[in-house]
A and B are shown apart, each in its own frame.
Chain A
Amino acid sequence: MTTINPKKLENSSNEENRHHEDFRLFGLITFLIADGMTFAGFFAAYLTYKAVNPLPDGAIYELELPIPTINTILLLFSSATFHKAGKALLKKNNFESQKWLLITSVLGITFLICQLFEYFNLPFGLTDNLFASTFYALTGFHGLHVTLGTLMILIILWQTRIEGGRISYKNMFPFEAVELYWHFVDGIWVILFIILYLL
C-alpha cells in the first residue's frame, strides 16, 4: 500500500480497481477471520466445559490417536500438494496442475472417510454426554469445511481443464482463494487436533 506503482496510478479508475485481484483475496481473508472466530467460540466453549463441568462417572472420553494422527498427516500433505498444483499452474502446465489437484482432492476425501470410520467406531454417540456432544460438534463443523473445500477443489479441477480457460496463470484468483481456504481448514484441524485429542 505504501509504495505507489506509477503505472497503477495512471489507469486506476475504480472500474479497474474493482477487478483487481488483491482486494478480493483481502475480502476472503476477512471472511476467514470471521470463520476462525466461530471455531474460536467452539474451542472456548469446549475448554470451559473441560475446566468446570466434570463428566459423570463411567463416561468414556479417552480418544484413540491413530486415525486422527493419520488424518493430520493427510491434511498437511494435501496442503503441500495444493501448493505444488499452484506452482505448476503458474508455469502454464495445466496437466501437471490437475494431477496435483486430483491428489489433493483424493487426500481430502480420504480424510472424510477416515473421519466417518472414526465416528462409527467411537464408543459414544452425540447425546451421550457433554464431551461427546462437543466432540461431534467440533469435528463435524470442521468436517463440513473439509467437504466444502473438497467440492471447491473438484470445481477448480474442472475449470483448469482448458489452458487459458476460466482459471489460468492469468486469472489465478479462484485458484488462490480455494488454496487459501484449504490452508485455513488445515490450520484449524491442527489446532483442533492439539486441543481435542492431545490436551
Chain B
Amino acid sequence: MTILIDKKNQVAEKIQPTGFLKYFSFSLDHKVIGIQYLVCGFLFYLVGGTLASAIRIELTSPISDFMPRDVYNQVLTLHGTIMIFLWIVPVVNGAFGNYLIPFYVGARDMAFPRLNAVAFWLIPPSGLMLITSYFIDGAAQAGWTAYPPLSITTPQSGQIVWILSVLLLGGSSIFGGINFIATILKLRRPGLKLMQLPMYCWAMLGTSILVVLSTPVLAGTLILLSFDIVANTGFFNPVLGGNVVVYQHLFWFYSHPAVYIMVLPAFGLVSEILPIHCRKPLFGYKTMVFSIMGIVVLGLVVWAHHMFTSGTPPWMRLFFTIATAFIAVPTGIKFFNWVATMWGGEISINSAMLFSCGFIINFVFGGITGVALAQVPFDIHVHDTYFVVAHFHYIVYGGSVFVIFSSIYHWFPKVTGKLLNEKLGMLHFALTFIGFNLCFAPQHWLGLNGMPRRVAEYDPQFQFVNQISSLGALFMAISTIPFLINIFLSAKNGEKSGDNPWEALTPEWLTSSPPPVENWKGEAPLVTEPYGYGSELTDKDT
C-alpha cells in the first residue's frame, strides 16, 4: 500500500511543473501551498485596500459625492469580507501554517497533502466570484455581518453570491483546520514532545480547534439565511414570524472566535520572531501555552458582547461582560511575556523586529479599547459608531497585518535565500505605522462623538477629523509601493542570505534556504529547545 502510493507520488512529481510554474499547479508540497496562500491573499489584500481607499475618499466630504450610496454599501461589504475571509484568515493560518508547521513538527509534509491543496484551490474561485458579483447585478450590501432583515431586503443576487463564497471559504478553513490538528497531534517526529514545540504550533492548534468548532455553525446559519432569501422561509424574517436575534447569536458564535482565528496565529508568529531577534529564550513558555488555550475556551463563550444593543436580557449581559473581561487576563500574560522576552535582550533593529514592536504597541491599544467595549454602559453608548471601527482595525490591522508583514521580512530569506532590503523595509514600516495610527486613532474620537459607521454621509462638524483619517489611509496606500518594490528587487538580485541569516534555532532554519522538496536532506533534526538562545551567557554568569 505504502509503496504503491509513494510510486504514484514520484510519478506525480515528474509530471508536475517545476520552477515558477509550480505555483500555478495543483501542488501537494506544503511549501508551495503556503506561498500560494500568501500571494493569493496579498492580491486580495490589494483589492480590499483599493476598496478601503475608495471608502476613505468618499468620507473626505460629508456628502455622498464620490459614489452613490448603494455602491458605498457594496464597497464596504466587499472590503470587510475580502480583508477577513480572503486576506487575514487564509494568510495567518494557511500561508504561514502550511509553510512552517511541517518544519516545526519535523515532518516532510502536512498530514493530508491532497486535502491541503483542495483547501487552497477553493479560495481563488470564491474570491473571484465575490468580486465579480459587483459587475453583474451589484454585490451584497449588508456589510460583512449580513444581518437580516437588511440582508433579506437588499438586492438578492449579490447576497446569494456572498453566501456561496463565504460557505466555500468556510469549507476551505475547516479543511485547513482538520489538517493542522492532525499534523500537530499525530505527525510529530518521534521523540518530540508537545511541550517542546515552537509556540506557533500551539497557536495554530488553538486556532484550528476554534475553526473546527465554530465555522460549521456559520455555515449552517448562512444556509438558513439563503433559504430565507431564495425559498421565502422566515427563519430570520420578523414579517414571517422569524427571529433576527437568533441569526446574531449564531453568526457571532462564529464571528467572535473568528477574531481569535485571525489574531492567535499572529501571537504565535510574534512569539517566533521576538526571541530570534532579541537573542533571548521566549519568556514563560508554559504560561504562553496555557493562555492560548485559555483564550480558546473563553473565546467560545463571549460572543454576545457584540449584541448588547439587541435586547439581550440582563443576566446575559452580566455573564458576557465578565467572560469578556476575563480574556484580558491571558492576553495580558502574553503581552507581558513578549515585553519580558525583549527585556535586556540584544535587540537587533530590523524591519521584522520593527513590525513586531509595532504590533505590540497597536495591539495593547486595541486590547484596552476592547475591554472598554465589553462594559455594557459604554458599549451601548458607542455601539455601531466609529469607535468600534477603530477598535476592530487596531486588532486586525495593527495586530494581524503588522505581524504578517513582520513575518514576511523574517521568513523571506527562508523562502528565497535572499535578504530583503532593510532601508526600504524601514520606510515601509514608518509609512505603515504612521499612516495606520493617523488613520484609526482619530476614529476613536469620531465614535465617541457619535459618528455612525457604514454610512456615506455624516455631520459636517466631523469633516476635519475624517480628512486626517483619510490622510492616514493615503500613507497606508503609499506604504505598499516600497514593499512591492522591495519584494521584486530583492527576489531578483537581493543580497544572498545564506542558510540561517538570523542564527535561529527553530527547525525550519536548520536546513538549506530555500529548503529542498523533502525539507531536510537526511533525518529531520530533533529540536527540543527551539528557544535556547543565550545559554552560553547564563553559563558564564553562574
Contact = CB atoms under 8 A, between A and B. Distances in A.
Interface of A: 4, 9, 12, 14-19, 22-24, 26-27, 30-31, 33-42, 44-45, 48-49, 52-53, 55-56, 126-127, 129-130, 133-134, 137, 141, 170-171
Given A23-B182, A52-B243, A127 B232 contact: yes
Contacts of B235: 45, 130, 133-134, 137
Given A127-B232, A133-B233, A45 B246 contact: yes
Nearest to A23: B186
A129 B241 contact: yes
A18 B111 contact: yes
B178 A30 contact: yes
B508 interface: no
22 contacts: A9-B190, A14-B107, A14-B109, A14-B189, A16-B2, A17-B187, A22-B186, A23-B182, A26-B182, A27-B179, A38-B219, A39-B220, A41-B217, A41-B220, A41-B250, A45-B224, A48-B246, A52-B243, A55-B241, A129-B234, A130-B235, A141-B220
B215 A34 contact: yes
Nearest to A133: B233
B241 A56 contact: yes
Contacts of B177: 30, 34
Contacts of B115: 27
A127 B231 contact: yes
Given A15-B108, A18-B109, A31-B178, A44 B250 contact: yes
Contacts of B524: 14
Contacts of B233: 126-127, 133, 137
B381 interface: no
B5 interface: yes
B333 interface: no
Interface in B225-260: 227, 231-235, 240-243, 246, 249-250, 253
B181 interface: yes
B187 A15 contact: no
- What 10 A-B pairs have minimum CB-CB distances, sorted nearest first? A23-B186, A41-B217, A38-B216, A41-B220, A37-B216, A133-B233, A38-B220, A30-B178, A14-B108, A34-B216
Contacts of B213: 33-34, 37
Contacts, number: 123
B403 interface: no
B351 interface: no
Contacts of A52: 243
Contacts of B182: 23, 26-27, 30
Interface of B: 1-2, 5-6, 107-109, 111-112, 115, 174, 177-179, 181-182, 185-187, 189-190, 212-217, 219-221, 223-224, 227, 231-235, 240-243, 246, 249-250, 253, 524
A15 B250 contact: no
Contact of A53 (B2, B219, B242): B242
Interface of B is mostly: helix
Contacts of A55: 241
Contacts of A41: 216-217, 220-221, 250, 253
Contacts of B179: 27
Given A14-B107, A171-B1, 15 more contacts: A23-B111, A23-B187, A34-B177, A34-B212, A34-B213, A38-B220, A40-B217, A41-B216, A44-B250, A45-B220, A48-B249, A133-B227, A133-B235, A137-B235, A170-B1
Contacts of A38: 216-217, 219-220
A96 to B, nearest CB: 24
A34 B174 contact: yes
B5 A19 contact: yes
A125 to B, nearest CB: 10
Nearest to B181: A30
Contacts of B2: 15-16, 19
Nearest to B217: A41
Contact of A37 (B6, B112, B214): B214
